[in-house]
């Protein structure tokens, strides 16, 4: 076994500095639309095992009220980007959902009325500029302008009948029934983009939905966070503070995402920063030091500098959340710092690495960075 694998096994990995991402507009979500396409040939053993696992998860998933599995709901979402007659698809259909033939899934959704073949007009937005110009060239119309201008010119200058003939590709379209299904099963798209959020996966939420007649999936996440608090408090009593700080960060993220109880969200963030700066940074340093001592003991030839306890810093995500809450609560800097100082004073415990005044100085310095 590689020595670093031994170290990880003995001492674990450090807490990631970035907490789960919220859905603020300035934060990017995973873009899965342009993942490489797959064909039917699967070669490696690991790939086969991953696909089999995905099939089991999909087959055991709780159906929606309309009898759809999560991957079928996801297919509705992607339908407008899928070309009619397309036979190659992104890899995630196979490796994450075990879908070997997405075309069959689309046919089923068409039969059930969730998607339909889109019209030529609906498909114009998905054509390339070159394809749009070619349509205009064939009809002896001007080919100047950006994509929006080209589409508008096609609609104005060419009859619908001719557009149907000239358009090189058409795409699927979501019906009203499909839109309603997406609206009622929002968790599928949410977790598909994030993979995991707040310590949960799409499959876990899907499994727990059967116990919730009204399908309040956001409540399931909040319940899970509260259950996580119980574990974190147990660890905190043992002097292990990272689970508690992470739990506070995640609960803050959730409330920001919901845009509710923002005063509570700020209190959670301040509490998380208190434990993060005072204790978690020290926990991480001790892990690094243990790893260093272990490695040097068994591998004297390995060149590695001895860890140094550095001045703590907040993650960019934490600072972003602080600014978001300040903006939404309409706090001035003075009001924000006063709220932070008041809450920090209420968390004072033995073994603090920094005084309340020093903590406030660290937080304000991070907050004021450009």
The Cα–Cα gap between 322 and 142 comes to: 51
The Cα–Cα gap between 121 and 97 comes to: 32
The Cα–Cα gap between 3 and 301 comes to: 13
Instruction: Considering only CA atoms, give the Rg of the chain.
Output: 26
pLDDT for the residue numbered 23: 38
72 within 8 A of 109, measured Cβ to Cβ:
yes
pLDDT for the residue numbered 348: 82
pLDDT for the residue numbered 18: 40
Domains of the chain, residue spans: 3-21+213-367, 37-192
46 within 8 A of 178, measured Cβ to Cβ:
no
Q: DSSP labels for 224-287?
A: HHHHHHHHHHHHHHTT--HHHHHHHHHHHHHHHHHT--HHHHHHHHHHHHHHIIIIIHHHHHHH
Paired residues of 173 in beta bridges: 116
The Cα–Cα gap between 257 and 268 comes to: 14
The Cα–Cα gap between 260 and 323 comes to: 16
- For residue 186, the number of C-alpha atoms closer than 13 Å in the C-beta half-sphere is 6
State the 10-residue block means of pLDDT for the chain, 370 residues long: 39 39 46 47 72 94 94 96 90 94 95 93 88 90 91 90 87 96 94 91 89 75 93 92 94 96 97 90 64 64 63 89 97 95 90 90 89
pLDDT for the residue numbered 46: 74
pLDDT for the residue numbered 195: 87
Report the candidate in 132, 131, 139 with the shortest Cα–Cα distance to residue 162: 139
pLDDT for the residue numbered 111: 96
pLDDT for the residue numbered 79: 95
272 within 8 A of 252, measured Cβ to Cβ:
yes
Secondary structure class of 114 (helix, strand, coil): coil
The Cα–Cα gap between 143 and 46 comes to: 50
pLDDT for the residue numbered 292: 60
pLDDT for the residue numbered 36: 42
287 within 8 A of 14, measured Cβ to Cβ:
yes
Report the candidate in 173, 211, 214, 185 with the shortest Cα–Cα distance to residue 69: 185
The Cα–Cα gap between 157 and 363 comes to: 60
Two tokens, residue 333: 């800097």
Two tokens, residue 259: 């845009």
């Amino acid at each position: 076994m590689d020595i670093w694998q031994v170290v990880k096994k003995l001492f674990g990995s450090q807490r990631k500095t970035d907490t789960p991402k919220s859905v603020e507009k300035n934060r990017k979500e995973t873009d899965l639309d342009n993942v490489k396409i797959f064909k039917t040939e699967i070669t490696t053993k690991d790939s086969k095992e991953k696909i089999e696992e995905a099939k089991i998860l999909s087959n055991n998933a709780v159906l929606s009220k309309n009898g759809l599995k999560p991957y079928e709901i996801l297919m509705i979402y992607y339908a407008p980007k899928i070309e009619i007659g397309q036979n190659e698809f992104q890899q995630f259909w196979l490796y994450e959902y075990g879908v070997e033939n997405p075309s069959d899934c689309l046919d089923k959704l068409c039969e059930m009325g969730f998607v339909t073949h889109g019209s030529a007009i609906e498909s114009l937005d998905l054509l390339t500029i070159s394809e749009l110009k070619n349509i205009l060239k064939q009809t002896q119309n001007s080919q100047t302008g950006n994509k929006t201008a080209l589409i508008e010119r096609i609609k104005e200058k060419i009859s619908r009948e001719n557009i149907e003939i000239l358009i090189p590709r058409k795409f699927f379209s979501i019906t009203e029934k499909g839109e309603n299904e997406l609206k009622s099963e929002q968790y599928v798209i949410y977790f598909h983009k994030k993979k995991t959020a707040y310590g949960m996966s799409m499959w876990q939420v899907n499994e727990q939905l059967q116990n919730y007649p009204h399908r309040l999936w956001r409540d399931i996440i909040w319940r899970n966070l509260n259950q996580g608090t119980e574990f974190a408090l147990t660890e905190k009593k043992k002097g292990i503070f990272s689970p508690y700080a992470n739990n506070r960060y995640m609960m803050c993220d959730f409330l920001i995402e919901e845009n509710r109880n923002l005063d509570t969200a700020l209190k959670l963030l301040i509490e998380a920063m208190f434990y993060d700066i005072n204790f978690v940074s020290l926990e991480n340093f001790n892990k690094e030091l243990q790893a260093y001592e272990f490695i040097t003991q068994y591998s004297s030839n390995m060149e590695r500098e001895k860890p140094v306890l550095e001045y703590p810093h907040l993650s960019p995500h934490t600072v972003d959340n602080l600014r978001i809450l300040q903006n939404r609560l309409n706090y001035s800097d003075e009001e924000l710092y006063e709220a932070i100082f008041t809450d920090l004073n209420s968390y004072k415990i033995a073994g603090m690495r920094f005084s309340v005044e020093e903590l406030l100085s660290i937080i304000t310095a991070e907050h004021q960075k450009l």
